[in-house]
Amino acid sequence: MPNVTFHFEDETAVTVSAPKGSNLLAVARGANVVIDTPCSGNGVCGKCRVKLLSGQVRSPKSQHLSDEEYAAGWRLSCVSTVEEDVEVQVPDIASAFKSRMKIADLNSGKEIAIFEEARSAVEAAGMPMENTMELLPLSMSQPTLDDTMPDNERLAWAIRRATGIEQVRIPYTVLKTLPVVLRDSGFQVTCVVRRTDKSVFVYDVLPGSEKAVIGGLAIDIGTTSVAALLINMQTGEIISRASTGNGQIRYGADVINRIIESSKEGGLKKLQDAIIQETINPLVAQMCRSAHFPARHIYRMCVAANTTMNHLFAGVPADHLRMEPYIPAFFKTNALFASDLGLNIHPDAHIIIAPNVGSYVGGDITAGTLVSMVWNQPDYSLFIDLGTNGELVFGNSDFMMCCACSAGPAFEGGDISCGMRATDGAIEACTIDGNTMEPAFRVVGGQKPVGLCGSGIIDVIAELFRTGIINAKGKFVREGRRVSFDQHGNGSYILAFREEAGGPKDVEITTADIDSFIRAKGAIFSAIRTMLASLDFDVSMIERVYVAGGIGSGINMKNAVRIGMFPDIDLDKFHYIGNSSLTGAYCMLLSRAAERKTYELSRNMTYLELSTINSYMDEFVACCFLPHTDASLFPSL
């Protein structure tokens, strides 16, 4: 069998054998080599390019590759077939995913301020930071020939005496080591328990001298990224914060492709392994290592994720989420424990799931709604979570309505020729000189630009429009050094010529890219309009707009309004609230009252299915202009 060697930018490499005729992308996936495949390997997006270093593959010349690129050895892995020993280079832009596991520096106050603020707000709203977990120091008398109570009864008896609660549950994990722990500690122990009104569940019995911290894990599982907090359940202190890419990315950029992949033979297990074994477990291990915290002392976990992500996380079939009538297996469930899912934390750790509202509004939104405080104010607020899908919640303390729209992967760089996630080399902000048409930009990591991330695209389009380089339809109408046209007359704007760029080609934005992005922003704005119209409201009634999501971190609100993505209201009303899904999971983990409130919020949210509203498509078409066909909606411009 031929050998295939994948070389990475960090000069590491992986070699595997594969039968002749194997698909190169499939070989990469089998070897856990991450290649960017927003279209899930269907030959559509052109992102899965690799460069031949030695040997040949059988591979048609794709329209996504220029003659020069093809000659230089670039191939699309999804349409390439292995026929002989071959070595390929996996580009940085693709392997960026791998290197994105990042432990946050908690010494930077900014890193944790957002969580502390949310926690205070939730507390101020009447939800004390009390959870059911506690440490119970116990001193027992040692057994004698006259006091022959067995170990488990001795422990239960001491717990009853300490708590006044009759029902004590000692699970197998505790029983298994109880005789040894009790004797090693001279019957002086500290128990980690969950205490409710009716019962005490014993998670751990630690030797009396062990300084114990009850760990909790809050986690946001996004379609693209995963972010986590390791916390002290008793104080709320954030012990570690980290983020990484979602390992499922190699099975497609959006939830639909993931569901399709999961429906294949063995696919559900593969997708679950990708998120748990390849993403969360390594992330937790790294957090615990850096904080010198034993992973087994994580006794409770809260997951906030969209409905597809929490189904795949749980290993529960997700097919029906995408098939009419779009029914999830669960909105909420109490059935998940770490050992069931193969999570490397305490085996009996209970996994709480932020509740779903439907197939397309998930726990990430309900957790985010909790901390947005939309539900706690008499004024009307709009909460927008910008991910691969866009989700909206509108309402006040009396009612809430939510909806989801498919923005597509454009906000995260998918469907955009030079698009990329907000990693090193991404242009994240940009201005263009109206006279010279020369750009000035800020690049993540400060290096040479490789591509454009979502916030950068907003800026570029807003600036191209402001400077008259493109018109309201997104067509190029000025000429210059940085504008070029193809044989069909479709223009593109070059932000960085090859020699200025950090990658193998020009960093540019094309007419097709602008079209894609306009459809994405149109989906958001038309969703806002449609939802408000269904309530006989208009944008003037919005008192606050909370913008959340990883995509939005560098977002320029003024530019977002300029391109017609957000309504033209006072810019002071916009608030960027970061990763509200993670913040919500943190509060749910720390406060039983907040957890219950989130369940209540999810039940009280009215879901609006946009596709059932006739006017939505008309609205969407009207929104596919800069800023909108109806200029009166943007009076300030």
Quickly list H helices, 326-438: 338-341, 363-372
Q: Does 176 bind its own copies (CB under 8 A)?
A: yes
Cα atoms in the Cβ-side hemisphere of radius 13 Å centred on 629: 9
| 180 CB burial (10 A radius; 0-12, 13-18, 19+) | exposed
Q: Which of 177, 235, 436, 604 binds its own copies (CB under 8 A)?
A: 177
Q: Which of 128, 137, 179, 434 binds its own copies (CB under 8 A)?
A: 179
Residue number with CB closer to its own copies (273 or 515): 273
Between β-strands 350-353 and 298-305, what pairing exists: parallel, antiparallel or unpaired? parallel
Q: Does 42 bind its own copies (CB under 8 A)?
A: no
Q: Does 237 bind its own copies (CB under 8 A)?
A: no
Q: Does 317 bind its own copies (CB under 8 A)?
A: yes
CB of 329: closest distance to its own copies in angstroms?
Answer: 5
Q: Contacts with its own copies in 128-167 (CB under 8 A)?
A: 143-145, 147-153
What would the two tokens of residue 629 be? Answer: 């066909």
Q: Does 513 bind its own copies (CB under 8 A)?
A: no
- Give the amino acid at 408: G
Q: Which of 44, 71, 124, 327 binds its own copies (CB under 8 A)?
A: 327
CB of 220: closest distance to its own copies in angstroms?
Answer: 21
- Computed over its alpha carbons, how large is the radius of gyration of the chain? 27
Q: Does 335 bind its own copies (CB under 8 A)?
A: yes
Residues 6+ apart with CB under 8 A from 526: 405, 616, 619, 620, 622, 623
What would the two tokens of residue 351 be? Answer: 């996994």
Q: Does 265 bind its own copies (CB under 8 A)?
A: no
Number of residues interacting with its own copies: please give it, by CB under 8 A: 46
Residue number with CB closer to its own copies (280 or 371): 280
Q: Which of 234, 356, 579, 583 binds its own copies (CB under 8 A)?
A: 356
Cα separation, 564 vs 236, whole angstroms: 40
CB of 81: closest distance to its own copies in angstroms?
Answer: 34
Between β-strands 13-17 and 49-54, what pairing exists: parallel, antiparallel or unpaired? unpaired
Q: Contacts with its own copies in 579-618 (CB under 8 A)?
A: 609, 612
Residue number with CB closer to its own copies (354 or 569): 354
Q: Contacts with its own copies in 275-314 (CB under 8 A)?
A: 314
Cα separation, 221 vs 474, whole angstroms: 34
Q: Does 539 bind its own copies (CB under 8 A)?
A: no
SS3 (DSSP) at 434: coil
Residue number with CB closer to its own copies (362 or 567): 362
**CA-closest candidate to residue 424, choices 445, 440, 406, 410:** 445
CB of 607: closest distance to its own copies in angstroms?
Answer: 8
Residue number with CB closer to its own copies (175 or 533): 175
| Helix/strand/coil (H/E/C) assignment for every residue in 65-106 | CCHHHHHCCEEEHHHCEECCCEEEECCHHHHCCHHHCEECCC
Q: Which of 11, 67, 197, 324 binds its own copies (CB under 8 A)?
A: 324
- What is the layout of strands, in order, in the sheet containing 86-89? 13-17, 3-7, 86-89, 49-54, 74-76
CB of 99: closest distance to its own copies in angstroms?
Answer: 34
CB of 328: closest distance to its own copies in angstroms?
Answer: 4
CB of 263: closest distance to its own copies in angstroms?
Answer: 11
Report DSSP state, residue 255.
H
Could you tell me which stretch among 287-295, 318-326, 481-489, 588-596 binds its own copies (CB under 8 A)? 318-326
The per-residue DSSP string of 155-208 comes to HHHHHHHHH--SEEE--HHHHTTHHHHHHHTTTEEEEEEEE-SSEEEEEEEEET
List of residues contacting its own copies (CB under 8 A): 143-145, 147-153, 169-172, 174-180, 183, 314-317, 319-320, 324-331, 333-337, 340, 356, 358, 609, 612
